[in-house]
Amino acid sequence: MTSIVAPLLAWPARVSIREVGPRDGLQNEHVMLTTAQKVLLVETLADAGVAMIEAGAFVRRDSVPQMADTEEVFAAITRRPGVMYSAIVPNAVGARRAVLARVDALQVFLSASESHNQSNVNMRVEESLVQAADIAAIVRNAGLRFEAVISVAFGCPFEGDVPLERVMDLAGRLLDMGAEQITFGDTTGMGHPGLVRDLVLAYSARFPRVKPRLHLHSARGAGLANVLMALQLGVDCFDASVGGIGGCPFAPGAPGNICTEDLVHMLHEMGIATGIRLPALIDATRVLERMLGRTVPGQTIKAGVCKHLPPDGGPRGE
């Protein structure tokens, strides 16, 4: 594929971060947290100023047992004003469960490759698209926010490179269904800044009215480098996981979401606001470590916070 030259733009003044640790993080952990522990984690993250939290998944309980109590988690959360609590769903059954649980936003997820889609949800991609249309109707009737996630958008652990045109075609079909945002997932950390550049530029040229969100992993250490490339292209929406925990249990070699506190620290150093109070976020990471009984992969909790940083990012004061 011919390489696309990326323009160097000023990065955004503010970035939106969706915290996915309570879902994408915990689903890949061997330790099974109790419902009360999950609720405490979600509420601690909300108290730190995290405005978007992916609090669970409405999937088959036998497939992802860590998410078996998602209804109970949503029922027990003390919801903070201004916080959006979302969940992922693979099919219409999950969407109906999510509506009954009073989620704020639903994210349908499907893969850019047939092999990963079969591994992840046991369906062909076209079957997932049929389910996505059903989910869109359910969400629309319930008056909730409908989003879509395209997994392995930067490469598949089974098939290797994923054609960019295939990813764009899926994005277009999901937008036609009414998706208010498309998230591109680097499910196994196969992405690098060149791929991020090519995907973001292709998407922005084709669908300029709907901002993309990136769900990046650091399995191979390129996570924050990929964020920087995306920032230079104007992307201001990212997923991240507290402590850097998580990954896809249905894709080999998939651990390592980008770490929320590492991302927030970098953004605040750059003068980019997030609305998240970093010291409180690190406290939430310590809560998570106690729950898991181990240290987490994130680096900021180990290295500490640069003392000159403002608490929630943005321009530095005197």
C-alpha span between 72 and 141 (Å, rounded)? 23
- Strand residues in 23-173 grouped as ranges (E): 52-57, 84-89, 105-111, 145-151
C-alpha span between 36 and 62 (Å, rounded)? 21
Does an H or E element contain 184, and which?
strand 182-185
CB 107 within 8 A of CB 213: no
pTM as predicted: 0.93
Enumerate the H helices of 189-242 as residue ranges.
193-206, 223-232
C-alpha span between 285 and 208 (Å, rounded)? 36
Which residue type does 270 have? M
Angle 189-195-197 from CA coordinates, rounded to 5°: 125
pLDDT at 143 over 70: yes
Residue for token pair 């003390």: 78
Q: What is the DSSP letter of 65?
A: G
pLDDT-derived band at 226 (thresholds 50, 70, 90) equals very high
CB 107 within 8 A of CB 88: yes
For the residues 269-292, what does the mean pLDDT come to? 96
pLDDT-derived band at 253 (thresholds 50, 70, 90) equals low
Angle 41-243-146 from CA coordinates, rounded to 5°: 65
For the residues 226-247, what does the mean pLDDT come to? 95
C-alpha span between 74 and 148 (Å, rounded)? 20
Least Cα distance to 272 among 16, 52, 12 occurs for: 12
List of domains in the chain: 16-303 (3.20.20.70)
C-alpha span between 291 and 309 (Å, rounded)? 28
Predicted local confidence at residue 119, as pLDDT: 84
For the residues 18-32, what does the mean pLDDT come to? 93
- Per-residue pLDDT reduced to its tens digit, 188-213: 889 999 999 999 999 999 999 999 99
pLDDT-derived band at 318 (thresholds 50, 70, 90) equals very low
C-alpha span between 65 and 76 (Å, rounded)? 19
Which residue type does 95 have? A
CB 168 within 8 A of CB 202: yes
pLDDT-derived band at 55 (thresholds 50, 70, 90) equals very high
Residue for token pair 């939290």: 53
Predicted local confidence at residue 6, as pLDDT: 52
Q: Which residues have a catalytic role annotated?
A: 248
